[in-house]
Amino acid sequence: MTQIDTIAKLLLGAKHVAFLTGAGVSAESGIPTFRDALEGYWSKYDPEQLATPQAFAADPELVSRWYDERRQKVLACQPNAGHVALAELERLLTERGATFAILTQNVDGLHRRAGSKEVIEVHGSLLRWRSTTSQIEYDDLPVPFESYPVPAPDGGLLRPGVVWFGEALPDDALARVDEELARCDVFVSVGTSGLVYPAAGWSLLAKRAGAKTVEINRDPTPMSQSFDHCVLGQSGTVLPAIVEAIRRG
Ligand code: BJW
Q: Which DSSP state fits 15?
A: S
**Dist. CA 183 → ligand 1 center (Å):** 24
Share of residues in the chain with pLDDT > 90 (%): 93
pLDDT of 36 strictly over 90: no
Catalytic residue among 83, 111, 123, 229: 123
pLDDT tens per residue, range 189-201: 999 999 999 999 9
Q: What is the enclosing helix (H) or strand (E) of 181?
A: helix 171-183
pLDDT of residue 23: 97
pLDDT of residue 94: 98
pLDDT of 41 strictly over 80: no
Nearest CA to ligand 1 atom 1: 24
Q: Give the three-state DSSP class for 19.
A: strand
User: Checking DSSP bridges between strand 124-131 and strand 137-138, what pairing results, if any?
Assistant: antiparallel
C-alpha 124/C-alpha 76 separation (Å) is 19
C-alpha 77/C-alpha 54 separation (Å) is 29
Spatial CA neighbour of 8 closest among 79, 96, 80, 81: 96
Q: Is the pTM of this model over 0.85?
A: yes
Q: What is the mean pLDDT of residues 149-159?
A: 94
> Which residue among 34, 190, 239 is best mutated to probe the pocket of ligand 1, counting the most ligand atoms within 8 A of its Cβ?
34
pLDDT of 40 strictly over 80: no
pLDDT tens per residue, range 157-209: 999 999 999 999 999 999 999 999 999 999 999 999 999 999 999 999 999 99
Q: Cis ω on the peptide bond leading into residue 198 (within 30° of 0)?
A: yes
123 is catalytic: yes
pLDDT of residue 1: 80
Q: What is the mean pLDDT of residues 73-95?
A: 98
pLDDT of 37 strictly over 80: no
Write out residues with Cβ below 6 Å of ligand 1. 22-24, 27-28, 33-35, 51, 105, 107, 123, 162-168, 191-193, 195-198, 217-219, 221, 234-236
**Dist. CA 235 → ligand 1 center (Å):** 18
Nearest CA to ligand 1 atom 25: 165
C-alpha 36/C-alpha 196 separation (Å) is 15
pLDDT tens per residue, range 111-150: 999 999 999 999 999 999 999 999 899 999 999 999 999 9
Spatial CA neighbour of 236 closest among 21, 3, 28: 28
pLDDT tens per residue, range 42-63: 888 999 899 999 999 999 999 9
pLDDT of 218 strictly over 90: yes
